[in-house]
Amino acid sequence: MSRTRLSRWFIALPMVALALATIYPLLFTANVAMKTRREYILDRFSLTGGLRWENLTTAWNSVGMARYFLNSLIVVTCSVALLLLIGSMAGFALSQLRFRGSSALFLVCLAALFIPFQVIMVPLARIMADVGLIDTYPGLILAYVAQFLPFTVFLMTSYYRAVPAEIIDAARIDGNTVYGVYRRIMLPIGAPALLSVGILNALFCWNDVLISLLMMPSADHRTLMVGVTSLRGQYSDDIPTFAAGVLIAAVPVLLTYLFLQRQIADGVTAGSMKG
């Protein structure tokens, strides 16, 4: 018994080391963001002399981080709202309503799950350019919706499949139309799944750089992640300000993770259990 307990601690040691290696890079960045340039050049590891916010305000004000932040916020909010609405509608119909062609339509959604963005990005950019949506908010939003919709439909369909048919039948007998059932029954019942899928989609959209680069390339349309990549060139000799920009871009995700970690993990594993 004591031998196994000892070996357990032996295993725990590298796991603790790995845990530290997981957190350290971000702590390092946060520390650097608080330093002056001089402090950083003299000693990269030393703790900052104090909580200095100058680098953060510089990054926020001078390189358009505020604008990029707003762009990201607009695009992510609209994309997620549309994804949840369209995804839950389709999920409800595909899981609970009997109609001709439903399984074929589900297959269409499923097949799209296996088409990565890289494979369709060239023709998609051309289609968007043809309809005048390149470099516009609606264009990027539509691209995000198209990218993450198959996943959303798939998860909402599997979630709604577990809803007992009796609940829906009862609501129909009470005089609800199909739309009434969707609005009064399926949306409230689906809330936990919608929360998980919504957060996951928000992360995907917020973190994306490729789709955004392709769909909204011009400077004042940059989303935050594209903005971070442009920081690199501008602040290559001012590491603390660069680190501050990176920190600003990471904060919304950090907060989301702190408060909604369970929902994020649920969304990730839901795909694996049903897949």
Tell the smallest beta-carbon distance from residue 246 to other proteins (Å).
5
Enumerate the H helices of the chain as residue ranges: 2-33, 37-42, 54-62, 65-96, 102-112, 117-130, 137-161, 165-173, 178-181, 187-189, 191-207, 210-215, 224-234, 239-274
Tell the smallest beta-carbon distance from residue 57 to other proteins (Å).
19
The smaller minimum CB distance to other proteins, of residues 87 and 190, is found at 87
Nearest Cα to Cα of residue 146 among 120, 183, 173, 184: 120
Rg (alpha carbons) of the chain, rounded to whole number: 23
Tell the smallest beta-carbon distance from residue 153 to other proteins (Å).
5
The smaller minimum CB distance to other proteins, of residues 30 and 74, is found at 30
Largest CA distance in the chain: 76
DSSP 47: P
The smaller minimum CB distance to other proteins, of residues 114 and 165, is found at 114
What are φ and ψ of residue 123, in 5° steps? -65, -35
Tell the smallest beta-carbon distance from residue 69 to other proteins (Å).
13
Amino acid sitting at position 59:
A
The smaller minimum CB distance to other proteins, of residues 9 and 162, is found at 9
Amino acid sitting at position 128:
M
Tell the smallest beta-carbon distance from residue 28 to other proteins (Å).
7
Are 127 and 142 contacting, i.e. CB atoms less than 8 angstroms apart? no
